Amino acid sequence: MTSPSRRSFLVGSAGVVFTIPLFSAACSDAQHSPYEVTNSGGLQDAWVHIDPSGAIRIRAAADEMGQGSLTAQPVIFAEELDADWNDVTVEFSDPDELVFGNPQPWTLGMMLTAGSSAVPGYFDKLRMNGAQVRKYLLGVAAKQWQVPIETLITQPSRIIHEASSRTMTYGEAAGLADETAVLPDLSPDELKSPSEFRLIGRDIPRRDVPSKTDGSAQYAIDMVVPDMVHATIVRAPTIEGRVVGVDEGQALAIDGVIEVVQLDDIVAVIANTYFAALEGERALSIDWSQPEIGGDLNSSEMLETLVATARDLTSSGAPIQNTGDIERAFAEASAVHASEYRAEHVYHAQMEPLGAVASVMDQGQKVEIWAGTQAPSHLLRSVSTELGIEKSAISLNRLYSGGGFGRRTTEGQDYILDAVRLSRHLARPVKVTWSREADVRAGCFRPMAGQVVRVAEDQNGDLIGWHHRIAAQSTLRQADPFRFTRYAEVPYLSSAGVDTFYSIPSARGEILEQAVGARVAPLRGVSLPTNEFAAESMMNEVARAKQIDPIEFRKIHLSQNPIAISVLEAVEKISPWQERPGLGVSLVSHGGTFIATVAEVHVNRATGILTVPRVWVAVDVGLAVQPGNVRRLIRGGVVMGLSHALIEQVTIRDGGVEQSNFHDYPVALLEHAPDITVEILETSGVPSAVGELGGLGVAGAVANGFADLTNRNIRHMPFLPERVLDALR
């Protein structure tokens, strides 16, 4: 049913592009035509339903995990529809990727809420479709009134013929619509000009917020269906681990526990109440196989192996950037700077423990699922493969995600498949909720990384060579083999930040992919926070060695980057930059834009505790569809980035994750949250990525603030007290 067509798209940044073969996700089981409207009790198009009463229902394709897309996407559509926002309600679209697939090429047309793309990715598509529906409604009124369509204008939710002072509401026009029709063609110059925007750029309150203040917002964990049982899951400590034996006696003795189920790589406790299942989980004793891959992984030793690999210049990795003549630059250098950087695994720690409800029916021929997911396309594919059924036999109810941060993007959709597999096994509806301990131990982490950055200077002190090498596990190979194989097996997700945007005549960035054997997944910004920590630390080290103001030094090497320069200048202006020491800066490129971060760093030299009371951020988002939301997302990202920089790390010993809950995996609390000032620039008028931006530059800015304060460098994330004390020694 799939007929892939081969085309190409370009990916990369800083002037480096790669051609990647792309298979279009065309398939024949589309539920909507993107161009057709029907009228049976209201006008229905793929994205919108307009009731004769005037009520307008607009669908959002993206997941709602706190980033606000459930409001922002309908706002964009409503803008061009010229709808009165008070008439609009919002809902999740169904998982039909032909209509609702993410237009960003790197998603391969999937429904995938990732890479901060929900607004920039869908922006044109939503505007065009909204405007087409408006034009169709104008046509209905023109026909009804027998006037040329050009003589009609719209005001929110109404069509007006000024010459005759006639008006028709959108509801009335919808009632008059043809039974079926094709949406009219529209050229992009028929779209509104930004000066005509009434919704975009204003702060429209998020539609999900009220339900998130009274307890009524529904997440998978809150779903109850008739005849449902509860399940906890214990997953093998390693990717390829399998159940060898289970001592289930104590679990079965617990009041309310129904059954203990072994399924290859998981053991599930089935119970009448979740608490009984949780107690059952704690009472289990399980023997797991110790597979070759990851079975004896010790992360601290592995990190040293990664650093050694990055250091060994005789090996070469996948070239992500290669300009000029790097060998010659270093051979001719008068001075070379080189440093090693380390970053540990970190955990998503989304506040809703993973889980889903599934009801497999008709002897496995049909399934209904209730879940929050960033990747409905992956989910349909995984469930279809698991049950051997058509995607059309899968009914998915999309719920709010209690945090996503990339954890819900994985191709396998492990936490939802658990519910599907158990429901098939038990032949009844099952709610799976991972305990927090299971969520940590079977976490899919941001990979640890060992990096080396080298910089060559000529006799004039000009930078002539930049060489960045990262040794790490590929996030994509394991978390999303579907995309990995179609990206020609280059681990692009691990590469962001390895390709420098500074103007240096010779530059090489390479990834040395290592088979670490840990569970990994994209995590808010993927490799950028760690790779840019290394690159921006090095940029700072060179600036300091040359005794040049680190902002000035960056600007010297940004001749082709007006946006980068403008965010640096903006952050210099809003921060007390001239009041150093104790301030550090970083500059990060993501999703077509730049973010500049300044952090104020304090250090307790006795305890080694770093604190960051204030952070200033300047970013050019092109166009802020929801400006307040942009600020809040960036502030939230700063907090998460700071948490990753200062306190979070997962360690793995003998193949098992050593942490289990928030007592041994602490994350930033209110007491750690800095005062954050955000400056937003909107140069291009086209929205850029936002959701991941805030956290990307924090580690670099903090490391550089530490260097500014102490004249020492800290090169191992997170900056735990013992590492700070080491750096100070």
List Cβ neighbours of 511 (8 Å cut-off, separation of 6 or more). Answer: 317, 318, 320, 470, 471, 472, 474, 491, 494, 495, 498
Position 326 contacts other proteins (CB under 8 A): no
Choosing from 423, 575, 629, 713, the residue that interacts with other proteins (CB under 8 A) is 629
Instruction: Tell me if the bond preceding 148 is cis, omega within 30° of 0.
Output: no
Closest approach, Cβ 635 to other proteins, in A, equals 5
Position 353 contacts other proteins (CB under 8 A): yes
Tell me the CB-side half-sphere exposure of residue 520, using CA atoms within 13 A: 28
Cα(139)–Cα(560) distance, integer angstroms: 47
Of 237 and 404, nearer to other proteins (C-beta) is 404
- End-to-end CA distance of the chain: give it in Å, rounded: 64
φ, ψ of residue 153 to 5 degrees: the values are: -125, 170
Choosing from 39, 44, 67, 540, the residue that interacts with other proteins (CB under 8 A) is 67
Site residue total, other proteins (CB under 8 A): 65
Q: Are strands 716-717 and 506-513 parallel, antiparallel or unpaired?
A: unpaired
Position 476 contacts other proteins (CB under 8 A): no
Position 215 contacts other proteins (CB under 8 A): yes
Position 640 contacts other proteins (CB under 8 A): yes
DSSP state, residue 396: E
Token couple for 254: 């617990």
Choosing from 504, 598, 633, 707, the residue that interacts with other proteins (CB under 8 A) is 633
- Among the listed ranges 287-295, 376-384, 624-632, 706-714, the one in contact with other proteins (CB under 8 A) is 624-632
List Cβ neighbours of 170 (8 Å cut-off, separation of 6 or more). Answer: 50, 54, 56, 81, 83, 87, 137, 157, 158, 159
Choosing from 103, 291, 319, 628, the residue that interacts with other proteins (CB under 8 A) is 628
Position 218 contacts other proteins (CB under 8 A): yes
CA dist list (Å): 563 to 123, 267, 503, 622, 677 = 21, 52, 14, 10, 19
Choosing from 101, 509, 636, 687, the residue that interacts with other proteins (CB under 8 A) is 636
Token couple for 668: 């930033």
Position 639 contacts other proteins (CB under 8 A): yes
Of 359 and 629, nearer to other proteins (C-beta) is 629
Position 352 contacts other proteins (CB under 8 A): yes
Choosing from 104, 433, 451, 649, the residue that interacts with other proteins (CB under 8 A) is 433
Of 64 and 97, nearer to other proteins (C-beta) is 64
Position 227 contacts other proteins (CB under 8 A): no
Interface with other proteins in residues 680-699 (CB under 8 A): 694
Interface with other proteins in residues 370-389 (CB under 8 A): none
Closest approach, Cβ 221 to other proteins, in A, equals 7
Interface with other proteins in residues 251-270 (CB under 8 A): 255
DSSP secondary structure letters along 258-283: EEEEEETTEEEEEESSHHHHHHHHHH
Cα(118)–Cα(688) distance, integer angstroms: 10
Position 663 contacts other proteins (CB under 8 A): yes
Position 221 contacts other proteins (CB under 8 A): yes
Residue with tokens 């096994």: 425
Q: Which sign does the torsion angle of CA 681, 683, 687, 693 carry?
A: negative
Give the contact letters, 400-419, x = binds to other proteins (CB under 8 A), - = no. xxxxxx--------------
Q: In what order do the strands lie in the sheet with 48-50?
A: 88-92, 56-60, 48-50, 43-44, 36-39, 180-182
- Among the listed ranges 106-114, 159-167, 397-405, 543-551, the one in contact with other proteins (CB under 8 A) is 397-405
DSSP state, residue 15: T
Of 215 and 685, nearer to other proteins (C-beta) is 215
Say if residues 92 and 398 touch (Cβ distance below 8 Å): yes
Residues at the interface with other proteins (CB under 8 A): 65-68, 203, 205-206, 208-219, 221-222, 224, 230, 255, 273-275, 278, 349-353, 400-405, 433, 435-436, 628-629, 632-633, 635-640, 643, 661-663, 667-671, 673, 675-676, 694
